[in-house]
Amino acid sequence: MDLRSVRGTHDIYGDEILKFNKISKVVSSNAKISGFKELTTPIFEFSKLFEKPLGDQSDVVLKEMYSFEDRNKDNLTLRPEYTTPMIRAAITNSMLNELPLKLFGIGPMFRRERPQKGRYRQFNQINFEILGSEDYLADVELIFVANEILKKLLPNNIVILNLNNLGSKKNLLDYKRSLTKFFKDKKNKLSKESIDKIEKNPLRILDSKNEIDIEISKNAPSIQDYVSDELKGHHKKIKDSLNLLGIKFIENSSLVRGLDYYCSTVFEFKTDNLGSQDTILGGGRYDGLVSILGGPDIPGIGWAAGVERISLLMQNNTNDVTEVHIAVTDREFTNHLLKLMQYLNFNKISYYWNYKFNLKKSLSKANKLKVRKVIIIGEKENKGNFFTVKDLQTGEQNELNLNQLDKYFDDKNW
């Protein structure tokens, strides 16, 4: 039998799962502090949910969705992103009665992309959304929360916030028209992928990685000439607030984002340490999306971050060593051992026990695992109803009953 996992998928264990758990803990605690409520949605939805909102020209919909027909001939899709399912859930569960609604979630997403470091076909996203506020403070708060989370998880990495303003939906439409005209004149020089985008999504040519496309784009019209004064004001207030909060950013006029639903504020946190998959977190405003999905005409803004990308940048957590190792010399003493297991569980002291009755092997295993303390149960311990605790670093040995263990672990600042 072929036991390989599917290309672009991976098992998560060892150091990586510890990092995932830490990410999840930091995200949940920060979300709680800032009043975001958790929501998980099903892994698959009707395909229609994604097709229109994500843009029938965006890469995600055209090439990357895992879609299938089930026995009822329903067209279903493994969710490629979280924003649309979250809005669907907010509408169908009547969560939009009280606005703004602040939601967050963490979970797996699926995109059939070409796998490489930091890019997978099943990956996990952290997702934050605010529905029902057009206030610039919603933009600021979301960026602030993102920055706080990344600061905690990646204290030793340089992660830079890139910011752009795409204007209103109408501004964006006018801008797209003028871009189409501009690129049409240069059609012969553009890469094949970009030629395909001239009519339907010229914005995406601006973030092409092809060198000639980049050179041509340098002379393309600027979105700033199309943005309304009102939205310029909105953007200025965001920048002032970020300065006040001490969040460094660069203004990046080629930042357009890959999904079609964006307008106004868009942003990405990028790093130099991940090769070409350098965006850790990205998001922006999607005014109009809630109504496209059948909800009220309310604005929205959010972001998503890749858990795997954050994890790749995190250091391994070397503190996660089991606290005690148990060594039992004979099966006869299992009753005494069971009492110890109960005690350690009750007191939340982590232990390892390998079902082998060999003191020498147990001690060498404990040394190998870098466990600091071994609790030994032999004949005299069993008879005398106590335990021998050996500190492998100092060699110190103590004979202690259950009550004395309490004091011992307290004193040792466990």
Residues 151-190 that bind ligand HAM (CB under 6 A): none
Q: Given the rule CB under 6 A, which of 12-20, 92-100, 298-306, 364-372 is the region that contacts ligand HAM?
A: 298-306
Cβ count within 10 A of residue 296: 11
Nearer residue to ligand HAM within complex by CB, 282 or 295? 282
Residue 3 corresponds to which tokens in the numbers above? Answer: 């036991």
The correct pick among 147, 279, 311, 362 for binding ligand HAM (CB under 6 A) is 279
Nearer residue to ligand HAM within complex by CB, 300 or 340? 300
Residue 93: CB partners within 8 Å, gap ≥ 6?
Answer: none
- Cβ pair 223, 167 in contact under 8 A: yes
Q: How many helical (H) and strand (E) elements, i.e. helices and strands, does the chain have?
A: 15, 16
Residue 89 corresponds to which tokens in the numbers above? Answer: 């859930």
Nearer residue to ligand HAM within complex by CB, 55 or 282? 282
- N- to C-terminal Cα separation, the chain: 47
Nearer residue to ligand HAM within complex by CB, 302 or 409? 302
Q: In the β-sheet with 324-328, what is the strand arrangement from edge to edge?
A: 351-352, 324-328, 373-377, 387-391, 397-400
Residues 236-265 that bind ligand HAM (CB under 6 A): 258-259
Q: Given the rule CB under 6 A, which of 9-17, 124-132, 242-250, 369-377 is the region that contacts ligand HAM?
A: 124-132
Greatest Cα-to-Cα distance within the chain, rounded to the nearest angstrom: 92
Count of chain residues binding ligand HAM (CB under 6 A) = 28
Count of residues making up the chain: 414
102 binds ligand HAM (CB under 6 A): no
| Alpha-carbon gap, residue 146 to 27, rounded angstroms | 9
The correct pick among 76, 87, 227, 280 for binding ligand HAM (CB under 6 A) is 280
Cβ count within 10 A of residue 207: 15
295 binds ligand HAM (CB under 6 A): no
119 binds ligand HAM (CB under 6 A): yes
- Cβ pair 77, 65 in contact under 8 A: yes
120 binds ligand HAM (CB under 6 A): yes
53 binds ligand HAM (CB under 6 A): no
Q: For binding to ligand HAM (CB under 6 A), which residues are involved?
A: 81-83, 111, 113, 118-120, 123, 125, 127, 129, 258-259, 279-284, 286, 302-306, 308-309
